[in-house]
Structure 1
Amino acid sequence: MKPTHEDTVEIARVLALWGHIMDDRELGRLGEVLTEDAEWDGSVFGFEPVVGLESIASVLGADGHASAHHTTNIVVSEGPGDEARVRSKALGVVDGGTVVSVAYADDLRRTADGWRISKRVIQVK
């Protein structure tokens, strides 16, 4: 599906909301940004890849995650059906104030509730 301007704006809003949910530690709100069957792969940082909101919330609630998330450089591309492929950069502040830079490789799916991330793979660049 070729994303429209409106799709791109909504997708950028979802990626921004991800950071707020993470920083506010409101993991009960993950359904606002992820599909029920979402895949999350933070193996680059030693976390096991997981599937599903409950499993993702469990991993994200563990120690070792950044305390601040800032998503930038969002590029939305065509995906199959009602999906979009998205690449973005992110800066995170970890213990001790160190800043890390990563790239997110996301698949998003249009749902009845709007765009949601169905797969996120974190890559260090």
Structure 2
Amino acid sequence: MSISVDDRTTITDLIKLHGHLTDRGDFDGLTALFTEDVVYDVSALGGTPLAGLAGAREAALALGDGNPVAHHVTNIVLREIDDGVVHALSKGLGVRTDGSVDSVTYEDTVERTPAGWRITHRVVRPRRTPLRD
């Protein structure tokens, strides 16, 4: 079964909304994107996998002004891996207060839940070396 056009639009919008909510500190709004027990893996950035929305919120608040002022997402590619489970690959750009920009790759597992499509697992990988996976 392939992903419907409506599901593609919904999942893509879900991923795009992350930056808007995060940039304005609307952590309560993240329940529209992630499951409560999401694993948010930032180990490739030097952290540890964050457990649940509460863990992600605590980490963002602990970073404080070290957070990017703007998160942008692009190049979203969706692939169905099981009925009701989609792998989403996207690129992220984080603009810092000094104007520098960081690049990451997001690897998301998105599942159809009773509340709709939600990200259940996210891996964030920094992009620091060109022409490498």
Same fold by TM-score greater than 0.5 = yes
Contact 1:38 1:117 in 2 (8 A): yes
TM alignment of 1:24-43, pairs within 5 A: 24-43=24-43
TM alignment of 1:1-125, pairs within 5 A: 2-63=2-63, 64-125=66-127
2: CA distance, partners of 1:60 / 1:97: 19
Q: Which runs of 5+ in 2 are unaligned?
A: 128-133
TM-score (norm 2): 0.87
Report the alpha carbon displacement of residue 49 of structure 1 after superposing the two structures with TM: 0.7
Report the alpha carbon displacement of residue 54 of structure 1 after superposing the two structures with TM: 1.1
Contact 1:89 1:104 in 2 (8 A): yes
Q: Of the two structures, which has the highest relative contact order with CA contacts closer than 8 Å and spacing of 6 or more?
A: 1
Aligned identity (percent) is 37
Of 88-97 and 100-109, deviating more is 88-97
2: CA distance, partners of 1:18 / 1:78: 21
Q: Which runs of 5+ in 1 are unaligned?
A: none
TM-score (norm 1): 0.92
> Which amino acid in 1 is paired with 2:41?
D
SS in 1 for 2:25: coil
CA RMSD of aligned residues (A): 1.3
Larger radius of gyration: 2
Query: Number of matched residues?
Result: 125
